[in-house]
Structure 1
C-alpha cells in the first residue's frame, strides 16, 4: 500500500534559488511534519542549498535534527516552558523569548541544569552563553513583549543572569499576519520597535521578519540599511507553488456492493448499488482531518451549511478524485485506509491504479516520497504501458 508524494526536485531546488535572490539570507523554517516532506528531508535539502541557519518550531524538533544535522544556528520559534537536559547545552541554538515569565523560566532551567550537573558547567570553562531573540508583539496578538516593555527587557535579563548563565540578545523578531494588515502598518511597527530598541540599548542590528513581499523586504533594507533583516520562510518557501508536487493514493481493493447490503466497521447499509474501493491513506496520514474554516460572506456560509446537511445523512466528500471528479467516502476513513463509494454505472479504477488526492500538507504524512529522476522513470514506464495497451487493442 502506498500514499505517495511525487516531487519535481529540480524545479523545487530552482524555486529555492529564486527565493534566495528575492530574500537574500532568508531563514528556512523546518517544523511540525516538515510541511509534508519530513523535517529530515528538508534539512538535507537546505544544507545542500548552502543554508547554515534554520528555524524550528520547538526544542524537541531542535533535539531531533541536531542528532543528524549540523547547522551554525538553529532558532527555536516557540517559547520554552519545559525542562531541559544535558543535550540542550549546545552553542548554536537560539531561543525565542516573548515575555518576562518566559525569560525567567528559560534562564532558571539552564541554571538548574548546570547546577545539577556540575560537570556540564565545568567542561565549558566559562559561563554558558544563552542566545535569545526578543519577540516583539505585533498585530497578531500572539506572545511577544509589548512595545511599552522594551525599556525593561535589559533589566529583566540582568535579573536572571548568574555566574553560570550569561544571556546574549541576537536580535529582534516580529511575526505579521498574512492578510488584513497593509505594508504601511507593518513598517510602522518595525520602525517603532527599532526606535525603542535603540533608545534603551537593546541590540537591534538584526531583525527577523515574516509575511512580506520581495518589494516590501527590499524597501526595509533601503530604509534601515544599518539593520540586517532576515526573512523567515516556511509555507511560502515549501508550499507556495504546488506545481512541483503531486499526491496520489494506490487502489488496494475493489468490491461490489448491493443496495441495502451492510459493510464496514459500523455495518452501514449501502444506499444504492455500486462499488467499494479501498485506497491507501487514512487518518494516520492526515486523510479526513480538517482545520476550522473561517466563513466570509454569504456564499461561503451557504457552502458550509450544505456540507453540514450532507454530514447529517452520513455523506462525506473525500479528498480523492477519479477522472476529475471528487469522490465520496463510503464510511469514515480508517487509520491507514480509506473506503470510497462508486455508484453502479460509473467508471471504476483497477487495483494498483493511483488516484489523485488533495491533502493539507501541514498535517499529511506520506508512505513514500518519490523524486526525479524517479518521477521521470515512473512517468516513462506508465507511458510505455499505455502504448502497450493501445497496441494490444488493435485487432
Structure 2
C-alpha cells in the first residue's frame, strides 16, 4: 500500500539514449530527490549510459555519489570559503564562483562558474584578469555557464555564451571545456560551429530523466473508504461533510511531497484566471488534489496528512475500492515515492 512510481523501463531508457545522441558530451545530473527516482538509481542509469561524469547538487551529495558512481563527480553548487568540510576523493570536481574561492582550493580540480543573466552565482567580467594567476595552483577542468530557461525580449543565450568565451580567450585563459545548462541541441550546435574544437558539455537532468512523460505513471493506493452523510464531522479539524459522499484515504501525504507546491510566477491572462479559479475553490474547501478518480481530480477533504491524503468523493459518484490505485499528477522533483516499479 504505497505511493508508487511505475516506469516503462525500456521506453524510459530509449528516451535517455535519444537525449544522449542529441547532446554529445552530456553530463547527467542527479541531485536533490533524484527527480523522483533517487540519486543512487540515476547514478546507476548514468553508468549504463557510459557517462564519464555525473553532476550532483552539493558536496554532501557528492560524498554519497562516489559510493555508487565510478567516474568523475561534478558538484554544481559553488564552493564557499568556510563551508563545512566534507571528505571527498580526487575524482570530485568543485564548482567555484569567486576568485578567492579558487585561491583557497589549492591542488583541487575546479570548474569556474561565470555570472550570466541568471544573476545567481559566478565571477564577473572584472574578475577575469585576476583568474590568470589564481588558476596556477588548481587543476582547471573548465568554465560553467548556467543560462535562464525563458528567452524574453529577444535574448540570445548563444550570444551570451560567446561573449564569455571571447572574454576568457582575450584574457589568455585556457578553456578545457565549457559546461552549459538550459541550451537546446541547436543552440549548442551553433556554439560548436562558432568555436570548432572547443568542448561544450551540456549538463542535463530534467530532459534526460523526465522528458518522456508517458513512460512514467504515479499512483497512490486506496487504504480506506468511509461513507459520510451531509453534516457528519471528520478529520483533524472536524470539518462537516458538505453533502453525502465518501472519504477516501489514499497513500501519499506531505512527507511524500503531496500538497506541497512551489510559488509560481504567472505570465498572461489565462494562467492568472486559472489561479483565481483554484483560489476560489480553496475558499469553499474544494481544493483539487493531485489524485484522479472517475476522470477528474478528486478534492482534498482536508489538508493532506504526513503519510496519507483524505479525499472527498460526492455521493453521486461511486467511490474507489480499497486496494485500487489512483493516478496522480505530481511534481517529480519534489516527490518522494515509497517505491519505484519497473515494468
Query: Looking at CA atoms only, which structure, 1 or 2, has the larger radius of gyration?
Result: 1
State the alpha-carbon separation in 1 of the partners of residues 139 and 84 from structure 2.
Answer: 20
Aligned to 1:95: 94
Q: CA RMSD in A?
A: 1.7
Cross-structure match for 1:393? none
Is 1:40 the equivalent of 2:18? no
CA distance in 1, matches of 2:298, 2:133: 60
Contact 2:15/2:211, CA 8 A, preserved across alignment: no
Instruction: Identify if the C-alpha distance between structure 1 residues 295 and 184 changes in structure 2 by more than 3 Å, giving closer, same or farther.
Output: closer
Q: State whether structure 2 residue 303 is matched by structure 1 residue 302.
A: no
Distance 2:154 2:30 in 1: 26
Q: Distance in 2 between matches of 1:103 and 1:79?
A: 10
Match of 1:80 in 2: 79
Do the aligned partners of 1:183 and 1:216 also contact (CA within 8 Å) in 2? no
Name the SS of the counterpart of 1:79 in structure 2. Answer: strand
Contact 1:328 1:340 in 2 (8 A): yes
- Give a deviation string over 1:102-152, Cα, whole Å, max 9, x none: 445x53xxxxxxxxxxxxxxxxxxxx7301111111111111111232111
Please, which of 258, 261, 277 is the counterpart of residue 290 of structure 1? 261
Instruction: Please list the CA deviations of residues 251-297 of structure 1 after superposition, one character each: whole Å capped at 9, or x if unmatched.
Output: 10000011111111111111111100000000011100101111212
Deviation at 1:101, TM superposition (A): 4.6
Conserved 8 A contact 1:91-1:129:
no
- How far 1:302 sits from its partner (Å)? 2.4
Whether 1:273 aligns to 2:244 is yes
TM-score (norm 2): 0.95
Deviations 1:294-324 (A, max 9, x none): 1212222222222223223332110000121
Aligned residue pairs total 341
Q: Which residue of 1 aligns with 2:26?
A: 26
Change (3 A) 1:101 1:313: farther
Report the TM-score, using the length of structure 1 for normalisation.
0.83
What do the CA deviations read for 1:214-249 (whole angstroms, capped 9, x no partner)? 222222212211211111101111112211100111
Counterpart CA distance in 1 for 2:260 and 2:144 is 32
Counterpart Cα distance in 1 of 2:277 and 2:180: 40
- State the SS of the aligned residue for 2:138: strand
Q: Would the alpha carbon gap of residues 52 and 13 (structure 1) be closer, same or farther in structure 2, given more than 3 Å must change?
A: same
d(CA) in 1 for partners of 2:93 and 2:166? 23
What is the distance in 1 between the residues matched to 2:311 and 2:120?
A: 41
Deviation (angstroms), 1:173: 0.7
Corresponding position: 1:136 with 2:114: yes
The alignment partner of 1:75 has SS state of strand
Distance 1:269 1:347, change over 3 A: same
Alignment of 1:238 onto 2:190: no
Equivalent residues in 2 for 1:357-376 (5 A)?
357-372=328-343
The aligned runs of 1:1-395 (5 Å cut-off) are 1-71=1-71, 73-81=72-80, 82-85=83-86, 87-88=87-88, 90-103=89-102, 107=105, 129-157=107-135, 166-180=137-151, 185-372=156-343
